[in-house]
């Protein structure tokens, strides 16, 4: 809020940038989760077949599925946040354009919309 007033500013081009950043993080996180999964699979079953090894294996297998699934799910949710920010940016730009067309026969609003700056 500028100067303590009641102004609320959304800059569509910034939302687009943050959306791209979330998508990049999502892809990186997904790659890291895949590398972890491959690394764990490459270890095989190093805990042995004795009593303590069998007990560990039972707990590990259950935890492993939840861990890998959770990491992959988190990567997907980060990508969803990015897509949501892109959608919000588009809706904001469309609202700005629509509002501008209602004032002074379509005069430009402020510094333009995200579509104006992305060209």
4's CB contacts (< 8 A; 6+ apart) are: none
Would 14 be classed as within a structural domain?
A: yes
Tens digits of per-residue pLDDT, 4-59? 678 888 899 999 999 999 999 999 999 999 999 999 999 988 888 899 999 999 99
d(CA 47, CA 51): 10
Q: Which domain holds residue 27?
A: 2-91
Split into its structural domains, the chain has a count of 1
Written as six digits, the tokens of 10 are 């959304």
Mean residue pLDDT of the chain comes to 85
Would 75 be classed as within a structural domain?
A: yes
d(CA 9, CA 4): 13
Residue entry with tokens 């990186």: 28
Contact 35, 3 (CB under 8 A): no
Would 63 be classed as within a structural domain?
A: yes
pTM, full prediction: 0.68
Contact 79, 28 (CB under 8 A): no
Would 38 be classed as within a structural domain?
A: yes
- CATH classification at residue 60: 1.10.287.1060
């Amino acid at each position: 809020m500028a100067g303590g007033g009641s102004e609320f500013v959304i800059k569509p081009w910034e939302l687009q940038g943050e959306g791209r950043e979330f998508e990049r993080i999502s892809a990186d996180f997904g790659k890291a989760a895949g590398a972890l999964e491959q690394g764990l699979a490459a270890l095989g079953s190093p805990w042995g077949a004795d009593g303590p090894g069998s007990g560990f294996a039972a707990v590990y297998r259950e935890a492993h599925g939840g861990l890998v699934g959770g990491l992959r799910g988190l990567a997907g949710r980060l990508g969803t946040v990015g897509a949501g920010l892109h959608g919000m940016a588009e809706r904001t730009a469309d609202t700005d354009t629509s509002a501008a067309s209602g004032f002074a026969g379509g005069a430009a609003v402020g510094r333009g919309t995200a579509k104006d700056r992305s060209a």
